[in-house]
Structure 1
Amino acid sequence: MSFRISTELRAGPGQFLTGLRDDDSLLRQVFFSILRHHHPNLAAKVDVIYALSQAWCTSQSDSDFELLVKYVSDLKPEERILVASSFSHMLNLHNLTEEVNSSQIGRAVRLGEMDSPTRDTNHSLLKLTAVNGLTPQQVYDSLCNQTVELVLTAHPTQALRASLLKKYAIVRRELDTLHSKRMSEYEKIETLEAIRAAVQAAWRTDEIRRSKPTPQDEMRSGLSYFSTVIFDVVPVFHRRVDTALEKMGLPRLPLDKALFKFGSWMGGDRDGNPNVTAETTRDVVVLARLEAVNTYFRQVESLMFDLSMWRCSPEMKELAERIAAAESREAARVAEERKKRNYADFWAPIPATEPFRVVLSHMRDRLYNTRQVLHQCLVHPNMSVRGALEEAGAYLDIEDMARPLKLMYDSLMSTGDASVANSRLLDLLRQLRTFGLSMMGLDIRQESSRHTEVMDAITTYLGLGSYASWDEQTRLKFLLDELQGKRPLMPPGMDMSPDVKEVVATFRMLSGLPSDSLGAYIISMAKTASDVLAVVLLQRESGVRPALRVVPLFETLEDLNNAPGTMTTLLSNDWYRAHINGMHECMIGYSDSGKDAGRLAAAWALYETQEKLVAVAAEYGIRLVLFHGRGGTVGRGGGPTHMAIRSQPSGTINGHLRVTVQGEIIEQQFGEKEVCFRTLDLYTSAVLEAALDPPPAPRQEWRDLMTRLATDSCDMYRSVVYRTPEFYEYFMQSTAASELGRLNIGSRPSSRKQGGIETLRAIPWIFAWTQQRLHLPVWLGIGEALEGAIAQGYQPVLQDMYANWPFFTSTLDLVEMVLAKADARLSAFYERTLVEGSLAPLGEKLRRLLAKTQQHILIVVRKNALLEGNTPSQMSTPNLDEKIRLRSPYVAPLNVLQALSLKGLRKFRELGHGGVEYNPSDPEIIDLLSRDPHKKGEGAQHPFVSAMDDCLMITIKGIAAGMQNTG
């Protein structure tokens, strides 16, 4: 096997393009060689389809497109499955080449061979001192006071199975090795064989998840990123920051400083998800603590080999002698117990002459005991986790681990062994401060109306009336009276509906969990101050000590506009201000606000709401932390990290950022160690600059025009989405929205309840339009708003805003990127294949609106074509236009296959059997179609439906890979 590979290191983003194309070609050749080996006839057809797709993507002619459609339409059902799978795999392989390309650019930047396309922490430190005139001490103090908390969620946008992600990770690692390591000819051949083996294993793996994941599955998937990547990278990044600080004559970061914290919603997010119960939440807390304990156990055992020295401080000697004396009294039992535990070494009691090993051995024993207790907690669901850990003397408080480690560190420093202290021991201290004993703190999220139901059940049972029917002032008076009173409110034996019982069970379960395993209590669809106070009261009644901080999530446009008033009501109350102890957190939702009002109106509402919330908090002397509920796609607030943070309003971050990392973004930001390092670097740099070099406040003229744009775009968006009677039917017919629920990519249903657009979750709403290639939620309404402003003579103002206001720049740049991915011709193909003729005029109107938006965006950004050149905010993704072009020939056949599969499935279900004769003869296809447990036995599906279902699911995954944000 011989493949051409370019390993030359290039010196600029444009020059890396050759390497990107070479890598794309290499992996495509590898894949085709595997496909030809297993399916020679099919490989020839895939080759033809790829050539036809390339021809159409280049020529854009209708005749070339019709040739592609005709060829694909003639495929047999089993061929469609394998062709879809082929293009899906090739797209994922292409995405790996982009990731490796980014790693190469990052490596070249660090070696000084090219300028950084985006800021990193080292550049930020230099800029803030050399350009902005800040003293090194000012920068150091700000850095030491900042924290970024990344909250991993299980939102269903990661369409790839973990089995495939692991195999693709091998390909990415080996491909990167080809570029980054000097290799002999033999080593190159062996590396290419490793790539081939991983690609072949991926191809021979069923890419469809055949059953829905449980929240516990989602948590295990999230934890895998910690054990394989994040845990190891965090101390490496802190070490790099230390080095940058030392070059400026500054001390290292303090030992107890963690630049990052990690949180999770996996198993805690019960908003509209009946699969997340009190027991589920308990399980994921135990699983996360087990992961932390197992990881620390390995670290401590490894340190026992490193810290063999006998010199130590008097304090260290005293502690070691006390532990050694206690163990020597039962030396035989201790040795036998350690032998049973199959420790790597050091079974017998260690003499006090090896003080570090004595203390570490004691810590290892406690970690082992802690692990045993947590295993028991998994087996016995009624056991109090916190109570069991306390009773067994296991690790429950982070300081129990931190104190002896800090003592070792100080001892080494005092004996002149600073290099040893600042090696792996320092790394462990940093890891402990970052991850604690819980690895990541679990947020609890519940919808506000569920708490109202509980309060209503209580007041009705007590004969106080119906809480649900009270107005806001009556609710507030009742809640504050109860919070300041002493009587118990929730009587034992109270009648409860199943929904109320589950909410109460969750609160009671929280009281038995270690407090450091828990983060915030998020109230989704929060609208009023009583929504917050009700949760405060229910925590008190359930014995949650210490109470979780209660965080209202403002999501819809109306809720965002009302948020400052809600917070004023809360913070103006003396009791509540004393209760929160000077700090409050509010969450703002990007997904639902965009679905409610359109992207432009939502972006401006989020901007203004942040400013107003910060002002309200300042008025009452409260420090406000804003929690950004960003999704992966632009329609849900996604975008390049540095750009997103730097475009926030001045004064709204102030050194503390909390943000969600959702779905496929987890893999994109933490799937590989170098990528993870870059992610931490970007967040640290951006938050530091946001605090010390915030963007200037926009001029009043800009604000006034932005308000007008937001109003006009919202009116247009809602007139189409919510006030056009036929729109919902068009949406359901022209997209795979109704079929997305069968994708098995998340544990949550796609809708909160039955209904139309209003009840559909934001994720499937945007996911469906992305698949159909219209990307409507991102741009609808923007073209008309810009057109109106330009007609009124505001074009120079708009261009000034774009050039000089980071918020407006990033907003339009992200819309421009999505417009470059939109394809009106493919959207029209879905329409003529799937939609009733009477609805076609609406589709024509939507495509005219798309063209108008593209036209007016180009006027404002002063370009002749989308993604022409690179604006400053687009520099984070060099050669974006070329990356989209390279993906296009892989994506187009998947779109054609998806539309044809939807047509076949819907026609079959409409007409019944419909005379379709299809009995696959290929044994491999027969086995594949029988893998779904829901397609067996009585009521099993017709083979044609099974084939089209599988093809559809594969195209959904493939198109998702093709449309993911580049950067």
Structure 2
Amino acid sequence: MTRSNPLAGEIGRLWRLLVDVLAEQAGADIRRLVERTRRRAVRARAGDPAARRALERELDGLDDERAEVVIRAFLLHFRLANLAEERHRVRVLEARGRQAQPGATDDTLAGVIRTLRAEGRFPDDPAAAAAAVRGLRLHPVLTAHPTEARRRTALQALGRVGRILDARDDPRLAPAAARALDDKLREEVTILWRTAEVRPTVPLPLDEVRTALVFFDSTLYSLVPSIQRSLEAAIGKAPVATGPDEEPLPPILRWGSWIGADRDGHPGVTAEVTEQAARIQADHVLHGHEAVALRLMQTVAVTVPQGDLDRLLVARLLDDAETLPELDATLRRRFPDEPYRRRFGAMAERLRRTRIHLTGATGPTAGRYERADEVVGELAEIQRSLAGAGLERVAAGTVQDFRWQVETFGFHHAELEVRQHAEVHRAAVHALAAGADPSSPEEIAPGVSLAEILETFRAIDRVRTRFGPDAAGRVVVSFTDGLADVLDVLDLAGAAIGEERAAELDVVPLFESAASLADAGKVLGSILADARYRAHLRGRGDRQEVMLGYSDSNKESGFVAANWLLWRAQAALAEVADREGIELTLFHGRGGTVGRGGGRLDRAILGQPPGTIRGRLKVTEQGEVVAARYGHPQIALRHLELLAGAVIAADARRRAAVPASDQALLGRLATASSVAYRALVYDDPGFAGFFARITPIDVLTELRLGSRPASREVRGAEDAPRAGEDAPAIDVERLRAIPWGFAWAQARIELPGWYGLGAAVEALGATERARLARLYEIWPFLTAVIDHAELALARSDLGVARRYARLAAAAGDAARWGAIEAEHERSVRAVLEITGRSRLLERSPAIARQIVLRNPDVDTLSELQVGRLARLRALPSDAPGRDDLERLVRLTVSGVAAGLQVTG
């Protein structure tokens, strides 16, 4: 690894290892083919036409077997390069921590607090600072991603590679130990090479639950005390209490999950699946709690005379002896004068028995805990006992860490949030009103019966009863457009579990279409004006959550218009909530790509309307975003610190209302952009066929990446064409936003992240464009919008996309492609004019460099994809070899996704 560029050195080292493995596994000829392909791709990207022709000729002439080897080689190269980049990010973070004083980097949590204090916007006194952040809440919600392109097997294998590389970095390694690690690394890369990339079957919802829990086991559980300690250090709170009444900060993290609970358009997610998901989560979190309790049993080896023990601890030890006599005898023999070790040992056994009970495993359950707050209470007692014995530092250390973990995760890990389409609920209510048999399996909507809908509410109730009230209870209603949609939930829940239990549920309206976002404030006002619903809300503490969808609004209206609709909806919702005296939490349904609300989340937070944060951020974390943000503990901590800092700063710097004239300017920009976008996507009857021809959408809908269907059956969507059927037109309106964005990314166009911006800016006068440039400098919302469009434009590559455009040869397709090229040029010009820069990503050199370095390797996979896609579509559906060819195209999809680090 080179000292001047450790990232390039590590990527080079991993590439050399990979081609060595290739030579071992596939032969020296294959190694030469892969290396020759890469050299030609680099020269072709540098502008060498001869290299371009040679590359295209060789790739086009490869038989399927050799093409597969090339595809898999570059795919694995990207997997390893992505791991190297993750490790480099960690090195950078560690270097900053070593070189700077605490808080010296402005965007760290400590740096944000320091800056706010300098501005007079945050209290200097640690006690006042602690009070200021006591209500801070970050609420990530994990969702299954239909385009997450990595198998759990591959995730775990890459984790092993990362750990070997970490160990290999140790400068103290003896030569023999270094050689042993190198051999192990070669072994793991060999295993990765022989691991199938494309799943043999479509994953089931519970497979996705288990995949998400890979991150809980490796990162999320230990992350809780890390972010708490970071916040304490940032505000200057002493780690040890300075007074008897000083309480530790409450946990700022709360986790939610839709995985195994989101049934909108997914009939495979049933009541039984949701309950099984809860059991799987409980198994993981209780294993985690048990392991910590056992570790504390080993480490809190404090000797205290029996006569000096406080009354509560003595009572707990006596109860342990009575309830767990055999264990108590063992613990007394091992730790006769170490009461805290005996106490933690008993807690570990109680947690084990709790896990056995909650998961239905075989084993003893007597002495188990009934509720997680019992564990929290016992930990608080131990802390007071330790403090009373002069061991305040021990009480405030790892014992407090454990308390935060139990408070955060309970016995459930993440709250399972049930989502269902409003039309399904409406059909169920109508069926009940018509006297339908509640137990009938007959479908009332595609794939859904009345019996299943009612059973879903019973499952929610059973999960709450078994795992605790925080384990479930939110019902998210997709495509909410009025009061009836929330009342339907109360009616169905009442019919299933009774009105008293139904009153404990929270109904979360989801506004995602352009029309519903435009009317969001009005609709919320009508909901809150209803006497029945308002009485329900009073029972829930006058707290209302509203979800905003970033994906469908973008697909419907285009990037700029969707962002403006969302901004205005947030402002309107906050105004209604203030007027009605309710506590509003906005739940942001963001995805990974720019077109679905992706990008720098901390910057997007700062761009939200004044008064819409109020210390609370709830946001979805999807698919490949989960891996990128939570795959490594230090990167995960950095991500959460950025979010916490942005939330604190957004509240501390509550800006004045945006002037009406500036809002009007953005309104004109949004309208013009939407007109341009819809003229291409919806007003042209031939566009759907063009989209199906120019992108690999037909293959994406059959790729076994996620359990969820690509289209909403409940809304009458028809299946996308089967790959190899000449890609007939699909129903763009019914297609889910995720495969829509994935398809454009695969074709290297990234259209959802920028289309319409250029036409809208060009339609403005010179004075308005100048005003837009000034607003970009001072209005965080506009800054985030333009910066995200810049990123999407930089990631697009119309040179490669022209190869895909050749697949679209129907009447009018040339004009459609011409419109995309022209708008791309206008949009680049608009971004540069607004930002005052001379080239895209001028202020983000690291991202620009990453794109430049990756492009040649992605080009190889794109070339293989477009060539094989053309062949596939030319084959009859029953042609020999069609399945093998389709499998190759699927492999290129995974490879391009890994190279671009973007799916849907």
Q: What does residue 430 of structure 1 align with?
A: 404
| 3-state SS, counterpart of residue 273 of structure 1 | coil
Corresponding position of 1:417: 391
d(CA) in 1 for partners of 2:616 and 2:214? 26
- Structure 1, unmatched stretches of 5+, are 9-17, 340-344, 380-387, 463-489, 914-941
Contact 2:320 2:346 in 1 (8 A): no
Can you list the C-alpha shifts for 1:230-281, whole angstroms capped at 9, x where unaligned?
1112213322333344478996994360011111100000000011001000
2:890 corresponds to: 953
User: For the residues of structure 2 that align with 1:417 and 1:161, how far apart are their CA atoms?
Assistant: 47
Distance 1:727 1:264 in 2: 36
Q: Does 1:278 align with 2:232?
A: no
Q: CA deviation at 1:172?
A: 3.4
Query: What per-residue deviation string (whole Å, max 9, x for no partner) do you get for residues 71-120 of structure 1?
Result: 11011111111101111111222222322222122112111259977611
Partner in structure 2 of residue 936 of structure 1: none
Q: How does 1:901-940 map to 2 (within 5 A)?
A: 901-909=868-876, 912-913=878-879
CA contact (8 A) 1:313 1:414 kept: no
**Counterpart in 1 of 2:229?**
239
Deviation at 1:959, TM superposition (A): 0.9
Q: CA deviation at 1:521?
A: 1.0
TM-score, with structure 1 as normaliser? 0.85
Partner in structure 2 of residue 919 of structure 1:
none
Between the aligned partners of 1:180 and 1:508, the Cα distance in structure 2 is 54
Q: Which residue of 1 aligns with 2:735?
A: 760
**In the alignment, residue 564 of structure 1 is paired with which amino acid?**
G
Which residue does 2:867 correspond to in 1?
A: 900
Question: Which residue of the partner structure matches residue 366 of structure 1?
Answer: 350
Q: 2:435 aligns with which of 461, 469, 484?
A: 461
From the superposition, tell whether residues 330 and 30 of structure 1 become closer, same or farther in structure 2 (CA, over 3 Å). Answer: closer
Question: Structure 2 CA distance, aligned partners of 1:570 and 1:891?
Answer: 50
The alpha carbon displacement at 1:525 in A equals 0.9
- Whether the 8 Å contact between 1:750 and 1:761 is mirrored in structure 2 is yes
Matched to 2:293, the amino acid is V
Letter aligned with residue 508 of structure 1: R
Q: Which residue of 2 aligns with 1:537?
A: 491
1:218 and 1:266 in contact (8 A); partners too: yes
Letter of the 2:757 counterpart: I
Match of 1:888 among 848, 855, 860: 855
Q: Which amino acid aligns with 2:137?
A: T
Superposition map of 1:74-153 within 5 A: 74-113=61-100, 119-137=107-125, 138-153=128-143
CA distance in 2, matches of 1:631, 1:522: 17
2:615 paired with 1:624: no
The Cα offsets for residues 668-725 of structure 1, whole Å up to 9 and x where unpaired, read as 1111121122122112211111111245543333211110010011111111111111
Once residues 635 and 319 of structure 2 are traced to their aligned partners in structure 1, the CA distance between those partners, rounded to angstroms, is 47
Q: 1:700 aligns with which of 633, 657, 660?
A: 660
The DSSP-based 3-state class of the residue aligned with 2:370 is coil
Three-state SS of the structure 1 residue aligned to 2:46 is: helix
Contact 1:142/1:655 (CA < 8 Å) preserved in 2? Answer: no
Partner of 1:751: 711
- 1:354 deviates by 4.3
**Mapped contact 1:647–1:695 kept (Cα < 8 A):** no
Q: Give distance in 2, aligned partners of 1:908 and 1:501.
A: 44
Alignment deviations for residues 423-452 of structure 1 (CA, whole Å, 9 cap, x no partner): 221110111111111111111100111110
Partner of residue 396, structure 1: 370
After superposition, the C-alpha distances for 1:28-87 in whole angstroms (9 at most, x for unaligned) are 12212222222211111111111111112111x655433321111011111111101111
Distance 1:330 1:108 in 2: 51
Aligned twin of 1:507: 457
- Partner in structure 1 of residue 521 of structure 2: 564
1:584 aligns with 2:544: yes
Secondary structure at the counterpart of residue 390 of structure 2? coil
1:678 to 638, 642, 651: 638
Counterparts of 1:215-614 in structure 2, within 5 Å, are 215-246=205-236, 254-255=247-248, 257-311=250-304, 317-325=310-318, 334-335=325-326, 346=330, 354-376=338-360, 394-461=368-435, 497=444, 499-514=449-464, 515-543=469-497, 544=501, 547-580=504-537, 581-614=541-574
Distance 1:904 1:620, change over 3 A: same
Alignment partner, residue 899 of structure 2: 962
Contact 1:643–1:810 (CA under 8 A) maintained in structure 2: yes
Take 1:117 and 1:66, find their aligned partners in 2: how far apart are those partners? 48
Shift of 1:792: 5.1
1:323·1:358 contact (CA, 8 Å) conserved in 2?
no
In 1, Cα distance between equivalents of 2:862 and 2:321: 72
Instruction: Report the equivalent of 2:2.
Output: 6
Q: Would you say the 8 A contact 1:81–1:950 is kept in 2? A: no
Residue correspondence of structure 1 range 757-796 to structure 2 within 5 A: 757-789=732-764, 791=765, 793-796=767-770
Q: 1:765 is matched by which residue type in structure 2?
A: W
Aligned CA distance change for structure 1 residues 150 and 837 (closer, same or farther; 3 Å): same
Gaps of 5+ in 2: 719-730
TM-score normalized with structure 2 length? 0.91
Cα distance 1:781–1:417, how it changes in 2: closer, same or farther (>3 A)?
A: same
- The one-letter amino acid of 2:876's match is R
Q: Work out the CA distance in 1 between the residues paired with 2:703 and 2:795.
A: 23
Structure 1 residue corresponding to 2:593, chosen from 624, 633, 650? 633
Report if aligned partners of 1:301, 1:364 keep a CA contact under 8 Å in 2.
Answer: yes
* 1:30 corresponding residue in structure 2: 17
Residue 54 (str. 1) matches residue 29 (str. 2) = no
Counterpart for residue 484 of structure 1? none
Q: What one-letter code is carried by the residue in structure 2 that aligns with 1:276?
A: V
Q: Distance in 1 between matches of 2:224 and 2:766?
A: 52
Distance in 1 (CA, whole Å) between partners of 2:560 and 2:171 is 46
Letter of the structure 1 residue corresponding to residue 9 of structure 2: D
d(CA) in 2 for partners of 1:309, 1:714: 68
**Residue 142 to residue 830, structure 1, CA distance change in 2 (3 Å):** same
Which amino acid in the other structure matches residue 836 of structure 2? R
Partner residue of 2:625 out of 634, 649, 665: 665
The residue matched to 2:477 in structure 1 has which SS?
A: strand
What residue identity is the alignment partner of 1:270?
R
1:226 deviates by: 1.1
Which amino acid in the other structure matches residue 186 of structure 2? R
SS of 1:587's partner is strand
Number of residue pairs the alignment of both structures matches: 868
Q: CA RMSD in A?
A: 2.8
Deviation at 1:190, TM superposition (A): 4.6
* Aligned AA (1:268): A
Q: CA deviation at 1:840?
A: 2.6
Distance in 2 of aligned mates of 1:821 and 1:494: 48
Instruction: Say if 2:442 and 2:449, in contact at 8 Å, map to a contact too.
Output: no
Worse-matched range after superposition: 277-286 or 364-373: 364-373
The C-alpha deviation readout for 1:796-828, integer Å capped at 9, x for no partner, is 112111111111111111111111111112111
How many percent identity over aligned positions?
A: 30
The answer to whether the Cα contact below 8 Å between 1:289 and 1:439 also exists between their aligned partners in 2 is yes
8 Å contact kept, 1:539–1:547: no
Name the CA distance, whole Å, in 2 between partners of 1:759 and 1:106: 43
**How many Å apart are 1:776 and its aligned residue?**
1.2
| Contact 1:157/1:662 (8 A) holds in 2 | no
